[in-house]
C-alpha cells in the first residue's frame, strides 16, 4: 500500500515549482522531501509546457503527471509557488476541498492577506515569505540584535539590502519586508517606524526611526539578504544567502509534512501558521 502524502504543486512549471516537483519525486535525497507522491502539477492553462510531464519539465524521468490547469481529486496537501494574481483561485480550491495549503508566493495585496486570514478559519495554512531554515533563523537573530542595540549610545541605523535574480517581479522581496516588520517590532520605539524604500535626491539626514530597504536585481541570484546595523564607530552585517533554490523547496515540503501531522493523526487544525511554527522557533516553543 502507498502511504505517501499526495501532493499538488501550484505553479508547477515555474522556477520554484519545478524544484518542489523534483525533490518530492526523489531527485535528490533530502529528508524533508521523502514520503511524498506528486499527484497534481497545476499551472496556467496557456503555459507553453501545459500537457508535458511534470517530472520531465523538472529535469527528471517521467512521473506520469501532466502540467495542467485541472486539479486532480486525490490531493491531500498543496504547495503554492505562483503569482499573486494566481493565488486566489488556488486558495478557493483548497477551502472548497478542505486541503491544507503551504503558501510561498510573495507580493500579495492587503486584500489578499485579509482573504488568507479568512481562509485560515477553514483550513490550515502555512504562509511565509521564505521557507529557508537559514533565513528564518536569521530573522530571529535580527530581532535579537535589534533589541540588544536599542539603547546603544549614538543610536543604530538599520538598513535591509536584498539581491535577487533579474526575473523577480516584486520588490522589495517578501523576505525583506518580513525582516523589516520583525525589526520594527523589536525597535519598540514610541515614534512609529518609517519604512523608507531607496533614497534619491536631497533627502536630508537619516532619521532615527526609519528602516531603509534596497532591492538589487542581478543575474541569477536565488536570494540574498543583508541586514546592516550601523553605529558610530562600528557595524554589524547579518548576511544570509541561498546557493540554489532547494532551501526554499525543501522548506516548503517540510511545511507540507508538518501540516499533515496534526495531533489526532490527521492534518493540523484550521489556522494561520508560519515557518517559525514549522521549525519550532515560535515564541514560547
Ligand atoms: N517563500 C519562499 O521561500 C519563496 C517564495 N518565492 C516566491 O514564489 C513565487 C514564484 O517564484 P518563481 O517560481 O521564481 O516564479 P515563476 O514565475 O518561475 O513561477 C510562477 C509560476 O506560476 C505560474 N502561474 C501563473 N498563473 C497561474 C495560474 N493561474 N495558475 C497556476 N499557475 C500559474 C506561472 O506560469 C509560473 O509557472 C514568487 O512570488 C516568489 O517571490 C520564491 C522563492 C522562495
Ligand atoms: O522570487 C524569489 O526568487 C524569492 N522570493 C522570496 C521573497 O520575495 O522573499 C524568497 C526568496 O528570497 C526568493
- The alpha carbons of the chain give a radius of gyration, in whole angstroms, of 20
How far apart are alpha carbons 261 and 206 in whole angstroms? Answer: 48
How far apart are alpha carbons 4 and 137 in whole angstroms? Answer: 29
pLDDT score recorded for residue 27: 75
Q: Considering the entire predicted model, what is its pTM?
A: 0.97
Any residues with CB less than 8 A from the CB of 16 and at least 6 apart, and which?
81, 104, 245, 248, 249, 252
Ligand 2 atom index nearest CA of 178: 9
CATH of domain 133-241: 3.30.360.10
Write out the chain's pLDDT in tens, 285 residues: 478 999 999 999 999 999 999 999 987 766 667 899 999 999 999 999 999 999 999 999 999 999 999 999 999 999 999 999 999 999 999 999 999 999 999 999 999 999 999 999 999 999 999 999 999 999 999 999 999 999 999 999 999 999 999 999 999 999 999 999 999 999 999 999 999 999 999 999 999 999 999 999 999 999 999 999 999 999 999 999 999 999 999 999 999 999 999 998 899 999 999 999 999 999 877
How far apart are alpha carbons 172 and 163 in whole angstroms? Answer: 9
Q: Give me the interface pTM, i.e. the ipTM.
A: 0.99
Ligand 2 atom index nearest CA of 164: 3
Closest ligand to C-alpha of residue 223 is 2
User: Which protein residue's CA is at the shortest distance from atom 10 of ligand 2?
Assistant: 130
Q: Which CATH superfamily is domain 5-131+245-279 in?
A: NAD(P)-binding Rossmann-like Domain (3.40.50.720)
Task: Classify each residue of 141-177 as buried b or exposed e, where b means 16 or more C-beta atoms within 10 Å of its C-beta.
Answer: ebbebbeebeeeeeebbbbbbbbbeeebebbbbbbbb
How far apart are alpha carbons 54 and 62 in whole angstroms? Answer: 7
Please name the residue that has the C-alpha cell 519586508. Answer: 177
Instruction: Break the chain into its structural domains and give their ranges.
Output: 5-131+245-279, 133-241
Residues with CB under 6 A from ligand 1: 10-11, 13-17, 42-44, 47, 81-83, 86, 104-107, 128-131, 248
170, three cell numbers = 516584486
pLDDT score recorded for residue 143: 98
Amino acid at each position: 500500500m502507498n502511504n505517501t502524502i499526495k501532493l499538488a504543486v501550484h505553479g508547477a512549471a515555474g522556477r520554484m515549482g519545478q524544484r518542489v516537483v523534483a525533490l518530492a519525486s526523489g531527485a535528490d535525497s533530502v529528508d524533508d522531501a521523502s514520503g511524498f507522491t506528486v499527484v497534481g502539477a497545476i499551472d496556467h492553462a496557456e503555459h507553453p509546457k501545459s500537457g508535458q510531464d511534470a517530472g520531465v519539465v523538472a529535469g527528471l524521468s517521467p512521473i506520469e503527471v501532466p502540467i495542467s490547469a485541472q486539479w486532480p481529486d486525490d490531493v491531500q496537501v498543496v504547495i503554492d509557488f505562483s503569482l499573486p494574481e494566481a493565488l486566489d483561485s488556488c486558495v478557493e480550491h483548497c477551502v472548497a476541498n478542505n486541503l491544507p495549503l503551504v503558501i510561498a508566493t510573495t507580493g500579495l495585496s492587503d486584500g489578499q492577506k485579509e482573504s488568507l486570514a479568512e481562509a485560515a478559519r477553514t483550513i490550515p495554512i502555512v504562509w511565509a515569505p521564505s521557507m529557508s531554515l537559514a533565513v528564518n533563523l536569521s530573522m530571529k537573530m535580527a530581532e535579537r540584535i535589534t533589541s540588544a542595540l536599542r539603547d546603544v549610545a549614538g543610536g543604530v541605523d538599520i538598513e535591509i539590502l536584498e539581491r535577487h535574480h533579474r526575473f523577480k517581479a516584486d520588490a522589495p522581496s517578501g523576505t525583506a519586508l518580513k525582516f523589516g516588520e520583525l525589526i520594527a517590532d523589536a525597535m519598540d520605539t514610541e515614534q512609529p517606524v518609517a519604512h523608507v524604500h531607496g533614497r534619491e535626491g536631497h533627502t536630508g539626514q537619516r532619521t532615527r526611526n526609519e528602516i531603509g530597504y534596497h532591492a538589487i536585481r542581478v543575474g541569477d541570484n536565488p536570494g540574498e539578504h543583508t541586514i546592516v546595523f550601523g553605529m558610530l564607530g562600528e557595524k554589524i552585517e547579518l548576511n544570509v544567502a541561498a546557493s540554489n533554490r532547494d532551501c526554499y523547496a525543501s522548506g516548503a515540503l517540510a511545511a507540507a509534512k508538518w501540516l499533515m501531522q496534526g495531533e489526532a493523526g490527521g492534518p493540523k487544525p484550521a489556522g494561520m501558521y508560519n515557518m517559525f511554527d514549522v521549525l519550532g522557533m515560535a515564541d514560547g516553543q
